[in-house]
Chains A and B, each alone.
Chain A
């Protein structure tokens, strides 16, 4: 049974409803309620709530504020690409659109405070106003003064307002080095296995009994709990695989209570789901189709990462090969690889110990355009005129993200690039043009 939330400021019924909507989060909700106090009481200026993804932070806040009918503004920091949007949304939900329209074109924090105060004095708060900021970690990238100011907004606007920051990372990573008002910290721990079971069992299928669904969730958690504790993902997986679970039931082979048989039926299926759906190799829609198709045609559907083959024009392939060589070979070895009569290069001198085998571990190095073209002309088997389309191919390789431009876009003179493809990819490409790339790579000498 759900524990009771108790608070003097609110009606029993409402608290009851809130408690039902927040399974396994009663402790946190109760804590929040006692922090918030009664609606008309002045609240603590800022609360910082942190916990992993899908640990119910936004949900708890949403339910509390909605069900208890408290004035609030919920803002997602992803959406607020500029502070203007943030200010606008807050003003909009507290004072209506005429307040929001008062904001100047690119408002500063003091504009916001001024307008807030102005409206606040017209309609003083009877209850505490709450500003909930989701994904608050993005606030760190905004202006340096924004976060400290928000933390003590209550002081600045002289109003009964509380900022609630929701984040996935701890407060220590937020603290600006100039110091600021310390918010109250509240941690939302991860759900335990039992709690997950309890929550997941709530969205049962209408045509089956709750016990049946609960036993299904039990099986599902047995498979997935070791790799995934994200409630949202688990819920998604539960929804996707439930029809398969019910299949023997629909065929009349087993009864609802025969858990063992049902388990035997679903277990290999769930294992497969772990490798495909969970990794988003296959979308949920395709997964459902797959289930309808039965086992016979399973090979037809391949995941996203199975399609790595890329068709490229002939010279583009060689340009990419040249780029790969330029990225992974030290420049001083070019003479050895691409000159016919490279003279005597002593092997001991040539193979420096620390350079050996480390190039592929270190990742691609930038190279100038000249070097790329020089290698290209020596690698490609026929004589190629330096036409405009060769150069345009380089830039189209950049837009395809097979090469990356290292130097700034404005730099026209001697641009630098990096090769952004993997070893397997380049091997596949060079096989199609009969070029043995391994022979030209310093690491594999």
Chain B
């Protein structure tokens, strides 16, 4: 019955859950797109400038630019090894170019350009886009595109002719306009983007550049090289005779770690986005990023996957939305959902702390529970609102300390805080000790930055903290005067003996009490600073109803994003029940039942052999096992005998194992195969 209820609950809430899901997904997707574009803004802008400049200098006719006219302007765009992210950059780059600089943009990838494919692709992209864009010129475009099918005509001279007719057409209306301005170049450049320079065949590329340089006078070509590793690859790929035909300018994009930091900053370290990850899931996503691919796009995909999984698997995720909506949704919760809330571990802990009467109320009275839930949700939102500013403050204070006890990046600190009480951490203690030893100007600078962080936050507690900090800062500034005065005295005295004496005096006084106002103040500051984390940086598990917002299943995320094909194959072969879910295959002690698929039996038998496996022995063992499965009488003559069908099944199983890479044929002995795997993994 409970099952039925659960099911009904799911069913009832499904529509609304879906609605919320789509809502918040919508919130994430534009975020990412905008974010990516913003991050690339600078580099894209400079690239656009570069293309504009190149096309305008081409039309200048002064001496210097004429002498340089034979070079093909080239932008070497270093993007880092996170190749999956590049697509998006190139897409927006070519869109921007098409919008503002030139309609003639072709991007090519190495894998489509083997042999003479490169030239063909470039022509196809440049001239083919025309057909779709301009309907008026369809006839003409068709004329030019028909010979394309005949690869005989596929040469750059065709492109030159095409370009000439193209620019002529667009020029005639241009003359009618007031004046041909320089911003609107008469000859828009032809931009060719090589998305992955490293993967190109150097020979193909060299030839292409040589050919292009023959046409540079007639065709304003421009290259953009997408480089994943380092610019010196250009020198590795192109000999001097070819690279002297290019005029290369270097553009360096943001490193992917900076990229990630921004994404985390905008999507995770913010209270605007109600969906949260717990420490383990975040750790999985981070480790995939840092250890495997450096791809921000994959990180965001992982985040989206976690989001989907959360809304899919946790019915209470209806409450994971903006505060106003969440409070409304609480009122609409059904009885079964409230039961689910009562079963939440965090809620149980909360109940245990209440008075007995209250406990009864909470477990019996639905409306009372709803009210409490509203209160708790408010509390959770407040917690988030305070958590992030305090986290950032703590990070600014600790990130410049020697040897980074709490990590260089704010995400590391965030992970520490998510896991457990940060103030119990050993590193935190050392960080606080180091903070106590800071010089005054450093401390003031750090406090100033904290003040800047806290200033825009609209929360009562944060306002208080802000006031407290500004107070401290003014006190620090007042300290300045008494420190200067002894120095002024010192300048008057010129006698060496006197000087020594005063210095000694000063030293003593310093030891005694002279600098103590600063120290007192510093201790005060540290005291108040160390209090803040205690009240605001407690891990989310300690908060009631955290299950609503926090996604916890790191195993699912790991399984989906970081697949282990070999482990899966081994699992399937070892215990076929895991995948087939057939009761007959169920075994107790991990052994394979006789009725398992042939390949499982063959695999199990091969595990018992040494490096070389005698095929005939293997076959006999297999036949025995299969006979047992067929229920033959062990005493009968046929038992364990190899008949044609069994033989065929065995051979198939063996060849399947060979295909999976567990065995291979060997030349050492003709009727043997060699094992390729060892151990349990």
**Nearest residue in A to B197 (C-beta to C-beta)?**
A401
- Specify the chain B residue showing the minimal Cβ separation from A168: B241
Chain B residues within an 8 Å CB radius of A342: none
Contact B256 A311 (CB under 8 A): yes
A239-B64, A283-B247, A311-B256 given as contacts; is B562 within 8 A of A387 (CB)? yes
Q: Does B669 contact A (CB under 8 A)?
A: no
B140 is an interface residue with CB less than 8 A from chain A: no
B:320-371 near A, CB below 8 Å: none
Q: Is A307 within 8 A of B198, CB to CB? A: no
Of B4-12, B287-295, B633-641, the one with at least 4 CB within 8 A of chain A: B287-295
A280 touches B244 (CB 8 A): yes
Interface residues of A in 302-353 (CB under 8 A from B): 304-305, 307-316
Q: CB within 8 Å of B: which of A229-248?
A: 232-233, 235-236, 238-240, 242-243
Check if A393 sits within 8 Å of B240, measured CB to CB.
Answer: no
B64 touches A309 (CB 8 A): no
From residue 341 to 388 of chain A, which have CB atoms closer than 8 A to chain B?
385-388
- Choose, from A26-34, A125-133, A191-199, A284-292, the stretch at the interface: A284-292
B531 at the interface (CB under 8 A from A): no
From B234, B236, B565, contact of A388 by CB (8 A)? B565
Contact B249 A313 (CB under 8 A): no
Given A79-B155, A79-B214: A308 and B230 within 8 A (CB)? Answer: yes
B236 contact set on A, CB distance < 8 A: 401
Decide if B232 is an interface residue (CB 8 Å cutoff): yes
Q: Is A84 an interface residue (CB 8 A)?
A: yes
Find out whether the CB atom of B63 lies under 8 angstroms from the CB atom of A310. no
B112 at the interface (CB under 8 A from A): no
A239 and B249 CA atoms in complex are apart in Å by 19
B-side contacts of A309, CB under 8 Å: 230
Q: B235 in the interface, Cβ–Cβ < 8 Å?
A: yes
Query: Which B240-268 residues have C-beta < 8 A from chain A?
Result: 240-241, 243-244, 246-250, 252, 255-257
What CA separation (Å) do A401 and B201 show in the bound complex?
11
B248 touches A283 (CB 8 A): yes
Using a Cβ cutoff of 8 Å, how many contacts connect chains A and B? 153
A13 smallest CB distance to B (angstroms): 27
Q: Are B230 and A310 in contact (CB under 8 A)?
A: yes
For B220, what are the chain A residues with a Cβ–Cβ distance below 8 Å?
none
Specify which chain A residues have a CB less than 8 angstroms from the CB of B168 in the assembled complex: none
Binary contact readout A276-304 vs B (1 if CB under 8 angstroms, 0 otherwise): 00011001111010000000000000001
Q: What residue in chain A is nearest B81 (Cβ atoms)? A: A312
Q: Which residue of B lies closest to A76 (CB)?
A: B214
Assess whether B18 is interfacial by the CB under 8 Å rule: no
Q: List the A residue with the shortest CB-CB distance to B238.
A: A280
How distant is A269 from chain B, measured CB to nearest CB, in Å?
Answer: 16
Tier of interface size on chain B? 35 or more
CA distance A390 to B289 in the complex (A): 13
Residue of A nearest to B80 (CB): A311
Q: How far is the CB of A99 from chain B (nearest CB, A)?
A: 13
A194-224, CB < 8 A from B: 203, 205-206
B54 to chain A, nearest CB (A): 8
Among A233, A286, A399, point to the contact of B199 (Cβ < 8 A). A399
A57 to B234, CA, bound (A): 29
The answer to whether A311 and B67 touch across the interface, beta carbons within 8 angstroms, is no
* B63 surroundings in chain A (CB, below 8 A): 205-206, 239
* Contact between chains at A285 and B73 (CB < 8 Å): yes
Q: Contacts of A311 on B, CB cut-off 8 Å?
A: 80-81, 255-257, 294
CB-based nearest B residue for A205: B63
Hey, which chain A residues are within 8 Å of B214, CB to CB?
Answer: 76, 79
Which one of A206, A283, A399 contacts B83 once the chains associate, using CB atoms below 8 Å?
A399
Nearest residue, chain B, Cβ from A377? B681
* Given A310-B230, A389-B562, CB of A76 within 8 Å of CB of B211: yes
CA distance A320 to B634 in the complex (A): 56
- Nearest residue (CB) in B for A383 is B681
B116 near A: Cβ within 8 Å?
yes
Query: B-side interface residues toward A, CB under 8 Å?
Result: 63-64, 67-68, 71, 73-74, 76, 78, 80-81, 83, 110, 115-116, 119, 150-153, 155-156, 196, 198-199, 207, 210-211, 214, 228-236, 240-241, 243-244, 246-250, 252, 255-257, 288-294, 562-567, 661, 664, 681
| 22 CB < 8 A contacts A-B | A78-B211, A81-B119, A82-B151, A88-B153, A89-B155, A105-B152, A205-B63, A283-B74, A285-B249, A305-B232, A307-B231, A310-B229, A311-B80, A311-B255, A313-B290, A313-B294, A385-B564, A386-B566, A386-B681, A389-B293, A399-B110, A400-B198
- Give 13 A-B pairs besides A304-B235, A304-B248 with Cβ atoms closer than 8 angstroms: A203-B67, A205-B63, A236-B244, A243-B64, A284-B247, A304-B234, A307-B252, A311-B256, A312-B294, A313-B293, A400-B81, A400-B229, A402-B229
